């Protein structure tokens, strides 16, 4: 590297630091105030933000049109344009989502355990916020509202860093959240958005803000999450993928098996809880395999099978080793025959992503064996994998489904965005 | 770098990989078996290990003598030799510690929450092991037994990497743990010890075993923990330091304040829960400051104070800015006057390490303000900071005190070495 490029890089790095450090410091200060704020104030800010989203609809749509024009000029894909585009319905849905988060129970101050020691000390474990959360996301501007609201509800300050394609939309939405904070008397730095679209800002958040950011949540595709997990020097809550399985056991009710498989695969194919692999017990190949596979084919789903599955219908394509690892997020399913519940569990352990798996069986003992041996965030008996969702679990809005085992596993809602502390009340105790 | 050194480095790296990868794979396989093992079997292994520690006492002491001779030959410090040395009492204490861990309640399979959805699905959140834990420690050979037993109790496989100074002692202790596993029919790879003292093995565990290790726990001094937190590509549970505070409020009972300050500072100065800074309310300088500070001085404690503290006794030395950040782990305390509980909390937020802080006051409202605004793992009212300990909390043996807010905070016992999964029982539910 010659001297000129080194110096220009240093100057760019200085610029990023000059932008990001004050954001970090302000977030830490805001987090300290939020930690002792009361739930009514935070909820008032959320309601005011929802109101601002509705009253500033035109401004948000105008900002969104600018983003869309630039995206079209750059020939971005139709799928991306769809994720990017806002309309009246999507804005109303954002506002309603913020109100739903306001309506959730306050996760803070909850005593999750308490006991008294023989020496009379009373110990409580009390839920507190994590502190400052960094959210790194891609083109969906609604994440600005969702993530901002979830962090505020849980008493955390948040630094939002959205994709450059949605920068104008996100800024307009962010302005509404700040309106809400201001009207409730909360610090505006409780919800900040990174003002630069320079990609170096992401690297700076991941690597150089350990003094300011307590946890990073990536929201987006596999490559974003992988980059974050690779580079982050702070803890990350993220899931890489959902390679979800449905295992149809010899004791499965055929109609139930067919309904669950069709729903798990086809209700929505683009969600992380969509089934990607069908496992069928060899003991019920004669009775269950053909009707289930044909129902999938008839519904327009491509089936990639092993030899046995291929033998039942000419429309079944040959599965390769790669198919067992695949997260299609499409109308495609891999299908194979396995020797009972233990073989199903072994297949899932080898090829799965520890997200969500379901067994269909009428045999309670077989079900319990599956539920205990399969080590995934969510294991279901006689229910569709598409229930993998914080809302469907009754946990309220979520920021994603974690496939990590550390801190948060499964749906990440407001409770998972908290930590705890031990509060000890004594009467002069000293240690012997 | 010339070709020869590059090639020899590559060959060393290959050697480490060749040693460590099979250990990682075996740990993952063992973890899978442990996850469905029952508590009685794991406890039987622990009891057998305790028995083996006692019956192999001579062999352990012989191995320890080899370590001690080598350490003396290398002129290692007296403090390190003391940490390294085993005797009959220390071996008995290790064995008894393993039995105490066996006696703890089983943390696995516990249902920590359950509810039924309107569609009839029954959801349970159930505790499961984390998987594979890597423990990196220094010269104390007893960590081999403690950490191995805690991980086994919580159903995790463990890869132990002790300091090179205690390698022979640790191997002899490890052999006893393996005896226990074998006699209970559990896989021997449930507790493995890294056979090489090559420091590159630590780097390999931290950076190249993300497919095998779920969490790393460093046990040792500040520099070890800092290195681990800097290099680790997997989650880390660790605490950097305990800069603990006692705040004596205007409404404190003087005798209680003196007793708590003396105990918090001097009961044991080398533990992370020892107080390092005394904060005294300006409103009680006339009544409380002199007796508390003089009691410390009379007990042989060096006091480094601000101007007001210096003015009361010529023995008080001048504190510098660095003293407010210091973890002395010695008979030294920093002392200053602050303007009430909010100023105390602000000092702690700026200089503290979020470990353990105590307020002494007879005023319940002031106490609650301190307990809610101070964001540390443990906050106490009218009790000594030396209670910062899993055993004193009634949580049983611990692997350390976490100052992180992510996953585990405060004492890290068997419960904190677990994750959870969601188990959903349905009757054919599909998602609309």
By C-alpha distance, which of A244, A278, A288, A259 is closest to B431? Answer: A259
Report whether pLDDT(A328) > 50: yes
- Decide if B263 and A215 are in contact by the 8 Å CB cutoff: no
In chain A, residues under CATH classification 3.40.309.10 are 244-390
pLDDT score of B3: 41
Residue A369 has pLDDT above 70, yes or no: yes
Distance of residue B244 Cα from the nearest chain A Cα, in angstroms: 14
Alpha-carbon gap, residue B199 to B205, rounded angstroms: 10
In chain B, which residues fall in CATH 3.40.605.10? 11-231
**Nearest-by-Cβ selection for A383 from B36, B406, B424:** B424
* A158 vs A134: CA distance, rounded Å: 6
CB pair distance less than 8 Å for B422 and A128: no
Candidates B28, B377, B431, B432: best to mutate against A (most CBs of A within 10 A) is: B431
A115: tokens are 């006991």
CB-based contacts of A366, cutoff 8 Å, min separation 6 = A249, A251, A341, A359
**B245 neighbors B347 (Cβ within 8 angstroms):** yes
Q: Write the pLDDT tens digit of every residue in A58-68.
A: 999 999 999 99
- Shortest alpha-carbon distance between residue B58 and chain A (Å): 33
Of B121, B214, B382, the CB nearest to A405: B214
The pLDDT confidence band at residue B199, using thresholds 50, 70 and 90, is confident
The answer to whether residue A281 scores a pLDDT higher than 80 is yes
| Contact residues, chain B, for A382 at CB < 8 Å | 425-429
> B279-298, pLDDT tens digit by residue?
999 999 999 999 999 999 99
Residue B194 confidence (pLDDT) above 80: yes
Nearest chain B Cα distance for residue A412, angstroms: 12
B35–A394 CB contact, under 8 Å: no
CB A60 within 8 A of CB A86: yes
Which three-class secondary structure state does DSSP give residue B357?
strand
| CB-closest option in B393, B406, B421 to A379 | B421
Q: How far apart are CA B97 and CA B334, in angstroms?
A: 35
Q: Cα(B384)–Cα(B289) distance, rounded to whole angstroms?
A: 18
The fold for domain B244-392 equals: Aldehyde Dehydrogenase; Chain A, domain 2 (3.40.309)
Say what the pLDDT of residue B408 is.
Answer: 95
Tell me how far apart the alpha carbons of residues B359 and B379 are, in angstroms, rounded to a whole number.
8
Alpha carbon B358 to its chain centroid, in Å, reads: 20
> A61: distance to nearest CA of chain B, Å?
31
**Helix, strand, or coil (residue B100):** helix
From chain A, pick out residues whose CB is under 8 angstroms from the CB of B419. 405-406, 409
What the block records as the tokens of A408 is 């948060």
Beta strands in A105-228, from DSSP E residues, in sequence order = 111-116, 122-129, 132-137, 157-161, 191-193, 215-219
d(CA A34, CA A22): 18
Of all residues in chain B, the one with the smallest CA distance to A231 is B233
CATH number of B11-231: 3.40.605.10
Q: Is A378 helix (H, G, I), strand (E, B) or coil?
A: strand
Contact A84, A60 (CB under 8 A): no
- Chain A residue nearest residue B391, CA to CA: A117
Local confidence band at B156 (pLDDT 50, 70, 90 cut-offs): very high
Least confident of A233-242, A265-274, B54-63, B285-294: A233-242
Closest Cα in chain A to B364: A425
Confidence of residue A4 (pLDDT cuts 50, 70, 90): very low
Burial of B53 (0-12, 13-18, 19+ CB in 10 A): buried
pLDDT tens by residue, A169-179: 999 999 999 99
Average pLDDT score over residue span B51-77 = 96
Whether B6 shows a pLDDT value over 60: the answer reads no
Which member of A259, A420, A429 has the closest CB to residue B383? A429
- What DSSP character marks residue A287? I
**Shortest alpha-carbon distance between residue A87 and chain B (Å):** 24
Mutate to test the interface with A, among B401, B423, B427, B432 (most CBs of A within 10 A): B423
Cβ-Cβ contacts under 8 Å, A386 against chain B: 430-431
Chain B contacts of A424, Cβ < 8 Å? 378-381, 383, 387
Torsions phi, psi for A140 (to 5 deg): -75, 110
Contact B123 A379 (CB under 8 A): no
Task: Write out chain B residues lying below 8 Å of A226, CB-based.
Answer: none
Residue from the list B372, B384, B431 with its beta carbon closest to the beta carbon of A430 = B384
CATH code: domain A244-390 is: 3.40.309.10
Question: Does the beta-carbon distance from A421 to B377 stay under 8 Å?
Answer: yes
Residues A373, B36: C-beta atoms closer than 8 Å: yes
pLDDT computed for residue A231 by the predictor = 87
Q: CB neighbours of B183 closer than 8 A, spacing ≥ 6?
A: B44, B45, B48
Which residue is it, tokens 């170096």? A200
> Does residue B430 have a pLDDT over 70?
yes
Cα A179 from Cα A98, distance rounded (Å): 14
Angstrom distance (rounded) from CA A277 to CA A284: 17
Average pLDDT over residues A24-36: 96
Contact B383 A428 (CB under 8 A): yes
Taking the C-alpha atoms of residue A420 and residue A414, their distance in angstroms, rounded to an integer, is 13
């Amino acid at each position: 590297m010659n001297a000129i490029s080194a110096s220009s890089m240093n100057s760019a790095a200085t610029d990023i630091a000059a932008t990001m450090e004050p954001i970090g410091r302000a977030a830490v200060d805001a987090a300290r105030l939020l930690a002792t704020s009361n739930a009514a104030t935070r909820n008032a800010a959320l309601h005011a933000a929802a109101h601002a989203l509705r009253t500033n609809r035109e401004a948000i749509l105008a900002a969104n049109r600018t983003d869309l024009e630039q995206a079209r000029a750059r020939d971005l894909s139709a799928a991306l344009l769809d994720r990017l585009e806002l309309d009246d319905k999507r804005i109303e849905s954002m506002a309603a989502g913020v109100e739903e988060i306001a309506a959730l129970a306050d996760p803070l101050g909850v005593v999750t355990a308490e006991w008294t020691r023989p020496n009379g000390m009373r110990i409580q474990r009390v839920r507190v916020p994590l502190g400052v959360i960094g959210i790194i996301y891609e083109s969906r501007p609604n994440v600005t509202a969702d993530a901002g609201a979830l962090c505020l509800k849980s008493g955390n300050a948040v630094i939002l860093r959205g994709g450059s394609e949605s920068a104008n939309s996100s800024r307009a939405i962010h302005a509404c959240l700040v309106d809400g904070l201001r009207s409730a008397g909360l610090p505006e730095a409780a919800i900040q958005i990174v003002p630069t679209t320079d990609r170096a800002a992401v690297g700076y958040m991941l690597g150089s803000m350990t003094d300011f950011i307590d946890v990073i949540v990536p929201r987006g595709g596999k490559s974003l999450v992988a980059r974050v997990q690779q580079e982050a020097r702070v803890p990350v809550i993220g899931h890489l993928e959902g390679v979800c399985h449905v295992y149809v056991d010899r004791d499965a009710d055929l109609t139930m098996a067919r309904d669950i498989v069709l729903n798990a695969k086809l209700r929505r194919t683009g969600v992380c809880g969509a089934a990607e692999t069908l496992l069928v017990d060899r003991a019920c190949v004669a009775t269950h395999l053909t009707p289930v596979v044909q129902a999938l084919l008839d519904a327009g789903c491509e089936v990639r099978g092993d030899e046995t599955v291929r033998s039942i219908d000419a429309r079944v394509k040959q599965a390769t080793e790669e198919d067992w690892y695949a997260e299609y997020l499409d109308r495609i399913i891999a299908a194979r025959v396995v020797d009972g519940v233990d073989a199903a569990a072994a297949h899932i352990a080898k090829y799965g992503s520890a997200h969500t798996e379901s067994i269909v069986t009428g045999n309670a003992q077989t079900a319990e064996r599956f539920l205990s041996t399969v080590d995934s965030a969510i294991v279901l008996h006689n229910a569709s994998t598409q229930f993998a969702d914080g809302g469907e679990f009754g946990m309220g809005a979520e920021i994603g489904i974690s496939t990590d085992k550390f801190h948060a596993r499964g749906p990440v809602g407001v409770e998972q965005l908290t930590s705890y502390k031990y509060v000890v009340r004594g009467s002069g105790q000293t240690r012997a």
